[in-house]
Amino acid sequence: MRTVADLKKGEMGTIENLSFDEIPLALMEMGCIPGKQVTLIQRAPMNDPLYISVNGSHFAIRRETAECIVLTKLLCDEI
């Protein structure tokens, strides 16, 4: 089981499942829902927070939150 926290810079995956109890509602409202593609843009020093792109939006999330977003279909992209 891979999560957003496991992505490397430039790697993409499709969101398979979320822990609705652990994910902030605002994050889901911005498009972070099952079936959407997520790309890791950058990691901050110490690997927290993570800067990601979902559904055309860019935002930073805590590593703890990223570990609650399960992915499928991992792809690689050059950034």
| pTM for this entry | 0.82
Q: What is the mean pLDDT of residues 15-26?
A: 83
Q: What percent of the chain has pLDDT over 70?
A: 91
pLDDT digits (tens, 9 = 90+) for 54-66: 988 899 999 999 9
Mean pLDDT of 22-27: 82
For residue 18, what pLDDT band results from cuts at 50, 70 and 90?
confident
Map out the domains of the chain with their CATH numbers. 2-76 (2.30.30.90)
Output the pLDDT for position 73: 67
Structure tokens at 27: 């994050």
